[in-house]
A and B are shown apart, each in its own frame.
Chain A
Amino acid sequence: MKILMLGWELPPHNSGGLGVACLSLSKALAKLGADIDFVVPYESDHHFDFMKVLSATHVAPLHQYGGSAYDSDNIDEKRFASDRDDGVFSIRDVQRDYCRFIEQYLMSHRPDVIHAHDWLTYEAGILAKKNFGIPFVAHVHATEFDRGGASGGNPLIRQIEYEGLVWADKIVAVSQATKDIIVEKYGIPADKIDVAYNGFALPKDDDYRYDGSSYQYLEGLKKQGYTIVSTVGRFTLQKGLMHMMRAAARALSVHPKMVFLFAGDGEERDELMRASAELGISRNVVFTGFIRGKQLRDIYSISDIFVMSSVSEPFGLTALEAAHHGNALIITKQSGVGEVLHSIVRYDFWDEDKLADALVNIAESPALTNILRDGIKHEYTRISWDDVAEKCIQVYDEVSKHKRNRF
């Protein structure tokens, strides 16, 4: 089966989980016999033996989001109008070229299915569907409502996302939570959407080893009996971190030997810092700034409890990474990853008391800590990309049969 996969990033040129998900899924699909051409929007230097990677433009890697890190707030009308000749280009320019490339490609190729990942490539998917009659599968890793929080995000992106979802023959959502948003906010019929939870591939036996060197101050506190609680991500409204900060203060009022690590950066950082001071807990709160690589994995390693406090989180791969490094997980009911796990504590993102209660109970009970920590290890290893790939093959069969009937 010939699949034309439309993506926006692949590791190492990824800004987040989308690239990891696309690569892992493609690899698992190839194992099942799928013949994949994967299109990226930048000058590719990828070499994989299980699929062909095609470059839609000559843009340098990591400029595919318009010359800066991806942030939907930066995509406004002004940027849409930008012209390549003056040296500035926007994500819209890249998308336009991406579509042209797909059009050219389809003049000489006939894939069985087009599989497009997130709004970034939906226009190309629509084009293939409209002009070439190729079955179109839209994969939703996040909706604009997830990215934009309460504001609903960028209306133009919502428009593109909506059209993509309407034109798609079938939609794959990464969680029930995401499917619910697609049904409620976009009015797409539920039976057109399949849920395929993201898989989790154990990090390859790399040379990572926790040596305790990155955060010696925290190691000292641990020896004094402190529990280390961490959260990792972009500091935006969507992550629900203000709720977490207030819950931290509640928990510390009962159990003072806790330290909260806020790892990441973002627009809410100053507000969070101010809040920690106003709540009188700044001595127990550590901001690491933006970190990655070993420093990030050291955060997971040193921490006892990982909190995913998101108001809306399509999946939430970081939770599984934290679990892999031995954390007990507390996850909001609004995070997709929680749907497939048992050995976690779940709470509503606004329920600060419940979060505080869970923090204290885990901190004070070795039995609860161990059962969460050990239980989760049995669970996330069972979440496999092979299952996601099999689901996608089913979807491909369905949409291509659909097509045969129609034409």
Chain B
Amino acid sequence: MKSLVLYLHMHQPYRVKHYSIFAVGHDHDYWTDKDWYSGTNNERIFKKVADKSYRPMLELLGKCLEANPGFKFSLSLTGVFLEQAAEWAPDIIKSIRNLVQTGRVEIVAETYHHSLAFFYNRAEFEDEVAQHQAKLRELFGYESRVFRNTEFAYNDDLAHWADDYGFHGILAEGWDKILGDRKTNHVYRPDGCHDLRLLLKNYQLSDDIAFRFADKRWHEWPLTVEKYQTWLDDACADGPLVNLFMDFETFGENIWADTGIFKFFESLVTQWGRSEEHNFLTVSEACDSEAPQGEISMPWTVTWADEERDLSAWLGNAMQHEAMAAVYELREDVLASQDADLIADWRRLLTSDHVYYMCTKYFQDGDVHAYFSPYDSPFDAFSCFMNCIRDIRTRIDALKTKE
């Protein structure tokens, strides 16, 4: 049997508006940009992506589930995505609920705020995972068995944590430098874990869709379903699983509808489902599909980003480290305040996108557009973020003096 394991990730950060030093101390709303057309207007961006990607793709997924009894897939949704959906496009949550109720859609656990808390504060990390699970229970009555960390940032410590926590499976990047001769087509056991199963992203075949599908300079362009299916079949020579992990927004937002990406997806699902030799699996079914074919160790952190597959887009320069240190060092004071608004605002600042906008990696090769940001420059992103930190401090101080 050849199994397609499709997993899609849904996330939108709460971007910090252009928050000036002169707002500190009196304007505690970091998230509402009054300028509708601003790059940091979260409502506008969410509604735009909802129209271009979330709605049409969810509808298509529903259609595929209906038309193909064997079709299954997995999803993950960050807490900050779900909050914005509830506020600006509640029909999306309803659509997801309908899909989950078919029993053929699995939801993967992660950090509520799409944070890198695992690397900064273990207690905060566990709080976030618990918050996220509570949110899934509340909205979908769902208990996740498989975990993924923000940006697939994975190492052996994380695997041990997930094993102890009781997760059944965990997702990570299938990076050649780690795998050596081994392939992403099998289930593995993370080094030293008892029950935890590891699934690895087949980045070549995933990126053929997510990054290259619409690239006219690609020598395989245009990518037809027939061609792609032969690649999938060839890949199965190495093992039964093809793990296609990608951002949900690949469909419609990163790659626009007029490229034919939706039609491609629909006919891929239909044609794959036709053969007796083929099936679809959710991530936990894939974890159970075979005994682990060996142990894999990643002593240092591997992510699904960039050529380097590391955290350098988030933690590659001193500004990013300073910003992270500044936000995490406030945790005790923020939580001690027991002020729900303050805690919520502080947690939104943990979202990893904020430090991603401070990335200066591209200055080396001059590829300014490689890292999307709603700010004029990484330095503006840093200033806005640090001004929020200053304001959080004033709020902590104000609450302390009240006592």
Binding site for B on A (CB under 8 A): 250, 254, 342-346, 353-354, 356-358, 360-361, 364-368, 370-372, 375, 378-379
Contacts and interface: CB of A to CB of B under 8 A. Distances in A.
Nearest to B364: A378
Nearest to B386: A361
A2 B403 CA distance: 83
Interface residues of B, number: 21
Interface string B268-312: 000000000000000000000000000000000000000000000
10 contacts: A345-B379, A345-B380, A346-B377, A361-B383, A366-B322, A367-B322, A371-B318, A371-B360, A372-B379, A378-B364
Given A370-B318, A372-B379, 19 more contacts: A254-B22, A254-B24, A343-B360, A344-B377, A345-B379, A346-B376, A356-B22, A361-B379, A361-B382, A361-B387, A365-B319, A365-B382, A365-B386, A366-B322, A368-B379, A368-B382, A371-B317, A371-B360, A375-B363
A353 B22 contact: yes
A254 B21 CA distance: 8
Contacts of A344: 377, 379
A253 to B, nearest CB: 9
Contacts of B318: 366-367, 370-371
Main secondary structure of the interface of A (DSSP, over half): helix
A366 B319 CA distance: 9
A386 to B, nearest CB: 18
A367 B368 contact: no
A379 B360 CA distance: 13
Given A367-B318, A368-B319, A371-B317, A358 B22 contact: no
Nearest to B317: A371
Main secondary structure of the interface of B (DSSP, over half): helix
Contacts of A342: 360, 363, 368, 377
B321 interface: yes
Contacts of B383: 345, 357-358, 361, 368
Given A356-B22, A357-B21, A375-B363, A365 B368 contact: no
B21 A356 contact: yes
B144 interface: no
Interface in B363-383: 363-364, 368, 376-377, 379-380, 382-383
Contacts of A367: 317-319, 321-322
B254 interface: no
B368 A250 contact: no
B332 to A, nearest CB: 22
A12 to B, nearest CB: 36
B360 to A, nearest CB: 7
B32 interface: no
Most buried by A among B21, B322, B380: B21
B95 interface: no
B20 interface: yes
B319 A357 contact: no
Contacts of A371: 317-319, 360, 379
A356 B321 CA distance: 24
B20 A379 contact: no
Nearest to B320: A367
Contacts of A345: 377, 379-380, 383
A197 B289 CA distance: 61
Nearest to B22: A353
Contacts of B363: 342-343, 375, 378-379
A365 B322 contact: yes
A326 B337 CA distance: 42
A250 B21 CA distance: 10
B144 to A, nearest CB: 37
B21 A360 contact: yes
B224 to A, nearest CB: 40
A354 B20 contact: yes
Instruction: In the A-B complex, list the 8 residue pairs whose CB atoms are closest, starting with the nearest.
Output: A367-B318, A367-B322, A361-B383, A357-B21, A342-B363, A367-B319, A345-B379, A360-B21
Interface string B6-36: 0000000000000011101000000000000
A114 B197 CA distance: 74
Contacts of B24: 254
Nearest to B385: A361
Contacts of A364: 386
A378 B361 CA distance: 13
A250 B22 CA distance: 9
A305 to B, nearest CB: 12
A185 to B, nearest CB: 26
A342 B365 CA distance: 11
A353 B20 contact: yes
